[in-house]
Structures are given as C-alpha cells and as structure tokens.
Amino acid sequence: MNSLMPPLAQGAAAAKPGGSPPQMPSRPMVMETRGLSLYYGRTQALKEISIEIEEKIVTAFIGPSGCGKSTLLRCFNRMNDLIDSVRIDGQVLVGGYDINGPDMDVIELRKRVGMVFQRSNPFPKSIHENIAFALRLQGLRDRSTIDGIVEQSLRGAALWDEVKDRLHTSALGLSGGQQQRLCIARAIAIKPTVILMDEPASALDPIATARVEELILELKKDFTIVIVTHNMQQAARISDRTAFFYLGALVEYDTTQTIFTAPSKKQTEDYVTGRFG
C-alpha cells in the first residue's frame, strides 16, 4: 500500500524472524491542523480549528461537554472514519503529511498515533496476549522479543510489579485502574510517536487517577501526549499547554500556567473559574 509516512527503519514491516522492534525515525514530529472543520451530516462540530501540537509535551484540550474536544482528538488518528456521516474540510497534518490525503495509509498512521480511551477496553485475552496482539500486528513473531517488549511496556506503564506473576490470566480480572494502565501499556508497546488520551482517568477513583497522572508525567519524556479532560485541576497538574474549546471553536490556546492563572479571554476565565460550563 502506498504510504507517504517515512518507512519504519529496518523492517518491522518486512517481518524479519527474530527482528528487532521498530524504531521511530528521529526527525521531530509535530501535529497540526489548518482550518479544520468537521461536519456530522449537516451539523458543524468543529469550526476552522488551527492548532499546533508540540512534541514531547502534554497538551490538554478542555471545554464543556459537546465542545468538540474529543472529536478533534479523534481527527488525529482518523478514528472519526468509523462514523458514516462525517465530512472534513481543511487539513490535519501529522509529521507534515496530510493524513486525509488519498495516499495516506491509515493503518500506518494509527501505529504512529496511538490512543487510550475513556472506558478501558482490554481484549478478553490474557494480559500478555493483549500486548502481544498489538506487537504481532507489527509483524513481530519471535517469542522472546515479544516477551521482552511486553515486560518493557508493562514496566513503562507502572504495572509490571502488580501483574508479573499472572501474565497469562485474563485481563478482565484486573481492577479498573489496572486495566487502564494495561491499555496504556498496550498503546506504548508499539512505540508510537504520539499518544492521544480521551479522558483516560474519568472512570477511575482518585488513587488510580493519581497513578495514571503520574504515569503521564513520566511518559512525556518519550512521547508526545494530547489529553482531553473535563477535570481542570488535572489539566493544570499535568499539562504544559492547554487549549480551551467552546461550541466547536478554539477559544484560547496558551501555556497551562497562563490559561489557569491569567487567561486572556473572558470566556476562558468564566469556564476555568466554574462560572459556566
């Protein structure tokens, strides 16, 4: 299949037996949208959004329900394709490439831009198999390599110590917070460049939430993270840049410190102080 993305170095695509896991190309990767508008049928859900996502920081999307932040998030890995009535104007660029162009390989895109969902969705398989499934999609076959990456990912998601003795039991037996961390482990196992998180902690209790937040702060050393959250204190705690959306439009986009201590727009101030929304 035609792919405009830079080829993965040294062949995970070629599926060499016992091959090393795929390395991301070293050029810096930034995502942006230019005048992006999105329509569900006749309703306009996104209004000419132009935003740039910087690499290896945490960018937060905040705003009241229905403001379009999740919709925008899903544009970056084309998960909106799953909805029939969606139409897009404008551009979404990942690594400089227009991902809605005719030559874009969606499968490759989704391997570069991973996603963690609001409700944790581990496969009804064992913990090990959840991650191994993702690795086999990359073409990895060698047992020991897979085992190694499974361990590495579980460590990276701060889950290894809790599950190392029951890797082959069902993932559905884990607690909610553990399941979500497993989903994060699964997402980072294929070493994407960007991780999109759609309210990853909203279904979790405060302790599990704190652990996920701590994890995100660690992960941003290696990954670019974009997180949608309706919890403003969470955004203030973990993000570096924050974008405030309202009714499908980008109202304000600035450093997190500015947005939460001295926003420029009155709408932002009103939302952040809880006066509406």
Partner 1 sequence: MDVQTPQLHFEPGEREPELIHFRAKSRDWASCLFTGLTGLATWLILGMLGVILVNILVNGWTGLSWRFIISNSDQDMFDVNKAGVLPMIVGTAARVILMTLFVIPVGVTTAIYLTEYARTTSLLTRIIRGAVNNLAGVPSIVFGLFGLGFFILFVGGLMDRSVLGGGPEPRWGKPAILWASLTLAVMTLPVVIVATEESLKAIPQGLREASLALGATKLQTILQIVLPQAMPGIMTGGILSVSRAAGEVAPILFTGAAYYMASYPKALTDQFMDLGYHVFILSTQSPNIEQTRPILYATVVVLLLLTFALNFVAILIRTRMRKQMRALH
Partner 2 sequence: MTHHEQELSELKQRLLNMGSRAELAVAQAIEALTNRDADLARRVREGDTAIDQLELEIDDQAVRLLSHAPLAGDLRLVLVIMRASQNLERVADEACKIANRARDLTDEPPLKAAVDIPHIARMVLDMVKRVLDAFVRGDVDEARSLIPLDKEVDALHKEYSERLVGLMTQDPDTIQRCLHYLTIIKRLERIADHAKNMAEEIVFMCEAQDIRHAAKLGTPPQEPAP
Q: How many residues bind partner 1 (CB under 8 A)?
A: 33
CB of 145 to partner 1, least distance (A): 17
Three-state secondary structure along the chain? Answer: CCCCCCCCECCCCCCCCCCCCCECCCCCCCEEEEEEEEEECCEEEEEEEEEEECCCCEEEEECCCCCCHHHHHHHCCCHHHHCCCEEEEEEEEECCEECCCCCCCHHHHHHHEEEECCCCCCCCCEHHHHHHHHHHHCCCCCHHHHHHHHHHHHHHCCCHHHHCCCCCCEHHHCCHHHHHHHHHHHHHHCCCCEEEEECCCCCCCHHHHHHHHHHHHHHCCCCEEEEECCCHHHHHHHCCEEEEEECCEEEEEEEHHHHHHCCCCHHHHHHHCCCCC
Per-residue x/- mask for partner 1, residues 119 to 158, rule CB under 8 A? x-xxxxxx------xx--xx--------------------
Query: First-to-last CA distance in the chain?
Result: 45
Please report whether residue 185 would count as binding partner 1 according to CB under 8 A. no
Q: What residue 24 binds from partner 2, partner 1, none (CB within 5 to 8 A, per partner kind)?
A: none
Cα–Cα dist 138/244, whole Å? 36
CB of 234 to partner 2, least distance (A): 10
Q: Kindly tell me which of 187 and 238 has the beta carbon lying closer to partner 1.
A: 187
Q: Kindly tell me which of 26 and 233 has the beta carbon lying closer to partner 2.
A: 233
Cα–Cα dist 262/270, whole Å? 11
Please report whether residue 264 would count as binding partner 2 according to CB under 8 A. yes
- Tell which one of 65, 82, 102, 165 touches partner 1 (CB under 8 A): 82
**Segment lying near partner 2 (by CB under 8 A), choices 78-86, 127-135, 172-180, 255-263:** 255-263
Please report whether residue 273 would count as binding partner 2 according to CB under 8 A. yes
CB of 237 to partner 1, least distance (A): 25
Spell out the residues 6+ positions from residue 2 whose beta carbon is closer than 8 angstroms to its own.
103, 105
Cα–Cα dist 229/272, whole Å? 13
Q: Kindly tell me which of 69 and 111 has the beta carbon lying closer to partner 1.
A: 111
Q: What residue 1 binds from partner 2, partner 1, none (CB within 5 to 8 A, per partner kind)?
A: none
- Tell which one of 21, 68, 114, 156 touches partner 1 (CB under 8 A): 114
Please report whether residue 7 would count as binding partner 1 according to CB under 8 A. no
Per-residue x/- mask for partner 2, residues 226 to 245, rule CB under 8 A? ------xx--x---------
Q: What residue 269 binds from partner 2, partner 1, none (CB within 5 to 8 A, per partner kind)?
A: partner 2
- Tell which one of 27, 42, 65, 84 touches partner 1 (CB under 8 A): 84
What does the binding site for partner 2 look like in residue numbers (CB under 8 A)? 232-233, 236, 259-264, 266, 268-269, 272-274
